[in-house]
Amino acid sequence: MEGPPGTATGATPPGRLPGGPPGAGGNERRQRATPAGHAGPTGVPTSGAAAYGLTVPAPTRPSPPPLRVDTARVVLVGIAVWAVALVVLLVLGDRVDRVWTWTCVAAIVLAVLGLALMRWQGQLRRD
């Protein structure tokens, strides 16, 4: 089999690396992808801080406690904002695309479903 003009048989043409696209000549073997942070075939990490010899320092102080948030109040405020937006869109009528009206309706319905789910899971206070 003869290669491109000016090259020896089996040699890679100038400007082309071995292992190019299929049919381009050269080695068509695919390399196996190594997940991030894992060692490559040589046992040396291929990415992340370990590849550069860096270590993550230990925390100097303990993490702060989680904030106590009244999630029901947050969801109710969100419902109110979407309801105001829905009223504005209904007042504007045909001057706005109906997709925005349905976006508000969907947001309100999903928020109500979220409140029901929080109640079912016992996350809401029982007053």
46-70 residue pLDDT tens: 666 666 666 777 778 888 899 988 8
Average pLDDT over residues 117-125: 83
71-92 and 98-121 helices, crossing angle to 10°:
160
Nearest to 47 by CA among 58, 55, 39: 39
Name the token pair of 6: 């000016």
pLDDT: which is higher, 84 or 58: 84
Listed in sequence order, the residues at least 6 apart from 85 whose beta carbon sits closer than 8 Å to its beta carbon are: 100, 104
Average pLDDT over the chain, rounded to whole? 76
On the question of pLDDT at 77 being above 70, the answer is yes
Q: Cβ(95)–Cβ(101) under 8 Å? A: no
Give the separation between CA 72 and CA 101, rounded to whole angstroms.
24
Instruction: Decide: pTM greater than 0.95.
Output: no
Name the token pair of 60: 């100097």
* Confidence class for position 123, pLDDT limits 50, 70, 90: confident
Give the separation between CA 6 and CA 20, rounded to whole angstroms.
19
Helix, strand, coil percentages in the chain from 3-state DSSP, rounded to 5: 40, 0, 55
Average pLDDT over residues 21-27: 54
